[in-house]
Each structure stands twice: as C-alpha cells, then as structure tokens.
C-alpha cells in the first residue's frame, strides 16, 4: 500500500490517483494538518509527501512536519521508495541535511530543463529535454550531498533530484489537474492578493503533460521495495 501525506486539503495526488486506480495499487491518504501522520512505515511500500503553503522551517509551529521528516527517514533507512512534491521535496532535502530558504517565487506555467543525468534516470528518461510544468512556490533548497540533480529552471536550479535509487524530490507540480488549479485559485486567493498576483494562470499545458505525469508516477510505483 502507498501512503500519501497531504499538508493541505486542496493538494492531493491529482492525476496520479488515476494511475493508482488503473494499476489496482492500494493507497491511503493521511492529512498531516489534522495530525494524521503514520508513526511507522510498517504496511506501506511507497511514500508520497505532497505540497502545501507551510515551510519546513516552521517545524516548531507545525509539529506534524517533524513527524513527516521522521517518516521519510524511516522509509529511506529501509530503502523504500519516497517521492516529495514541492513542500514534500523540501522536507526530503531537509532530512538529507540541506538548507531550505526563500528563493525566487515561481507561480504558473514555466519550463524546466532536464539535466544530462536525467536522460538515463528511470523516472525521467522518457521526458523531453524541456517541458512546461506548473509551479507554486517561493522557497527552494540546496542540493543534498550524494544526490543527483535532475531538472532546473531559469530561476531555480534545483527543480528535481534523486537520492540513492528510489528517493525523488520534485519542486514543481506535475500532478495537477484543471480542477485542482481551480480549487487553488480560490483557496490561495488571499495569498495571491498579498503578493500582488491577481489569480493563478489557467490550465494550459501542452499535449504531452498528461502522459508524462501518468508515466512518471507509474514508474515510481514500480520501483522495488528493498529493505536494508
């Protein structure tokens, strides 16, 4: 069973739920913001930590972030696959000893460029060299030691990385659906107003977006679970 940890109600698995249903792969949501974080990795093969407006630097304010970090550590220690998206990526980076800090704000659709190592990476090898994805963040992180950078953007050099063979951190959002973005427009309305952005850009990916998202996640759930 896959464990998916939400940090806010409007940021779920999105397109990836379709993959899980098609593959018949069992999964369960845990709502961290309701203090629903597993104490153990027992019974779970894969872990996905999703996005949210919180900062990993606010672990004292949001105690559940520390619980998520502990859970990531347990999965990594047993060589179980882990995938972090946005805040989830920052949590993984912090667990691996990197700093997380304010960076260039990216909101909306923009291209990422794959690195040379990504061209032979299992999750990213089928991606085009450049692809348009959705961004919604203002924090970034240093590349953790012994990890491999997989993607960059003009403003943020560390858009994705892999640690070992089965731990992936993705700063951008490739799981979003049109419905999700519409929900985000309403949910984050006050924040967008505060930063002077009237609204989120519309859902306008190119034709490759959906199959890229589905195939990336299909490959993730195919990663073997191998306990240390």
For the question of residue 86 being annotated catalytic, the response is yes
pLDDT at 227 exceeding the cut of 80? no
182 pLDDT more than 50: yes
**Residue written as token pair 């993730």:** 220
Q: Residues of the chain with pLDDT > 90: what percent? A: 88
Least confident stretch, 39-43, 88-92, 167-171, 216-220: 39-43
What mean pLDDT is predicted for residues 33-46?
Answer: 94
Give 48-85 pLDDT, tens digit per residue. Answer: 999 999 999 987 788 999 999 999 999 999 999 999 99
Give residue 228's pLDDT: 42
Which class is domain 2-222?
alpha beta
Tens digit of pLDDT for each residue in 140-160? 999 999 999 999 999 999 999
The verdict on whether 173 is a catalytic residue reads yes
Catalytic residue among 46, 62, 135, 173: 173
pTM of the model: 0.95
Catalytic residue among 46, 68, 86, 106: 86
Predicted confidence (pLDDT) per residue in 119-145, tens digit: 999 999 999 999 999 999 999 999 999
Is 224 a residue whose pLDDT tops 90?
Answer: no
Catalytic, out of 11, 68, 106, 175: 175
Note if 9 is an active site residue: no
Residue 28 near residue 1, CB atoms below 8 Å: yes
What confidence score (pLDDT) does residue 127 get? 95
Burial class of residue 135, CB neighbours in 10 A (0-12, 13-18, 19+)? buried
Domains of the chain by residue range: 2-222
């Amino acid at each position: 069973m896959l464990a998916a940890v939400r940090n806010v109600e409007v940021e779920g698995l999105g397109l990836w739920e379709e993959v899980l249903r098609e593959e018949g792969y069992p999964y369960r949501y845990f709502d961290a913001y309701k203090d629903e974080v597993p104490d153990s990795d027992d019974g779970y093969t894969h872990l996905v930590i999703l996005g949210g407006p919180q900062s990993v630097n606010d672990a004292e304010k949001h105690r559940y972030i520390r619980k998520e970090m502990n859970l990531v550590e347990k999965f990594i220690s047993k060589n179980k696959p882990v995938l972090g998206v946005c805040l989830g990526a920052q949590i993984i980076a912090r667990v691996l000893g990197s700093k997380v800090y304010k960076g260039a704000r990216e909101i909306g659709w923009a291209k990422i460029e794959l690195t040379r190592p990504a061209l032979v990476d299992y999750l990213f090898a089928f991606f085009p060299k450049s692809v348009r994805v959705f961004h919604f963040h203002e924090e970034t992180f240093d590349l953790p030691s012994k990890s491999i950078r997989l993607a960059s953007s003009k403003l943020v050099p560390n858009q994705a990385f892999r640690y070992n063979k089965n731990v992936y951190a993705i700063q951008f959002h490739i799981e979003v659906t049109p419905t999700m973005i519409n929900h985000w427009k309403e949910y984050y309305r006050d924040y967008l107003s505060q930063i002077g952005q009237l609204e989120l850009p519309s859902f306008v990916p190119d034709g490759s977006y959906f199959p890229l998202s589905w195939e990336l996640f299909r490959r993730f759930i195919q990663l073997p679970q191998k306990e240390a």
